[in-house]
Chain A
């Protein structure tokens, strides 16, 4: 019985530790990505962004997503890939108005995704 109690408490402790780490890690990663998107958005708005700026955000995202795949469903990650690639293509062609809309969507996804995995009433049910 002592063994069962030890195993149970260990499993609970590991789970709680993992929950706290996941919450912190996902929020931090998406926070950094949001900051990069905010900078890109400002540049696109003032029409000073280049394709390289878009590629830089994409490189940052590619680095983060390789680890985020462990915690976030892969479909959610592929949405960001899709919108980011579209934004990069539009920046490459110098279509700032269209690119602005794409970056706006990306900003919203980056804000909403960590929330979708936090412990909230609406997420539980």
Chain B
């Protein structure tokens, strides 16, 4: 029985560690340790139920172990703030006054398209619709929105972390040469761009690596 307790504890700690390393992209609106518990507990309950060769007490001990670990983690989080940061993580400010913080995105195993998707789910369709964008410790997205939204046209991503999206380029009537000329005007290469989006009105959100974002204008066909 003590073996089950120790083994369950080891699996819990390893899963929690892996979930923390995977970043916020893998957890959905739960604290990492809550996610690990919900992941493990269903399986622990099922195995002794389905496999009659395992004494039911093994399942009960494993579930009680998870309960004990949950309470211990919760109490530690309550008493010691650094433990909370280690176990549950901290909110990450991925959009700040300079634009997208690429370092924070990478740290959480996210990319710009994940961020744009989270923003759309939260009701923001332009990257500059918000002052700040934050991934909470539980993986949900919060934002401090601007008083006025940028536009009513859907932006398309033309460059995502140094790679041009050829389909979107064609959709907005942009070819490679035009993009190259546009980038030359901005004095940068494709690989130096964190993000470049354009909406149907030709409004460009442009951010070069390590620099403040810019709002620019360009010619587009506006057919979307």
Q: A residues within 8 Å of B by Cβ? A: 1, 4-5, 7-8, 11-12, 14-15, 18-19, 22-23, 69-75, 117-119, 123-124
A–B pairs, 12, beta carbons within 8 Å: A8-B71, A15-B1, A15-B65, A15-B68, A19-B5, A69-B55, A71-B1, A73-B54, A74-B53, A118-B3, A119-B2, A124-B6
Chain A CB within 8 A of B39 CB? no
CB distance from A123 to the nearest CB of B (A): 6
Chain A CB within 8 A of B49 CB? no
Chain A CB within 8 A of B18 CB? no
Q: Which residues on A sit within 8 Å (CB–CB) of B61?
A: 15, 18
Q: A1-B75, A4-B71 are in contact. Are A73 and B55 (CB under 8 A)?
A: yes
Chain A CB within 8 A of B90 CB? no
Chain A CB within 8 A of B42 CB? no
Q: A11-B64, A74-B53, A74-B55 are in contact. Are A22 and B72 (CB under 8 A)?
A: no
- Chain A residue with the shortest CB-CB distance to B56: A70
Q: Which residues on B sit within 8 Å (CB–CB) of A7?
A: 71
Cα separation A18 to B55 with both chains bound (whole Å): 14
- Chain A residue with the shortest CB-CB distance to B71: A8
Cα separation A75 to B3 with both chains bound (whole Å): 18
CB distance from B12 to the nearest CB of A (A): 14
Chain A CB within 8 A of B154 CB? no
Q: Which residues on A sit within 8 Å (CB–CB) of B57?
A: 70-71
Q: Which residues on A sit within 8 Å (CB–CB) of B74?
A: 4
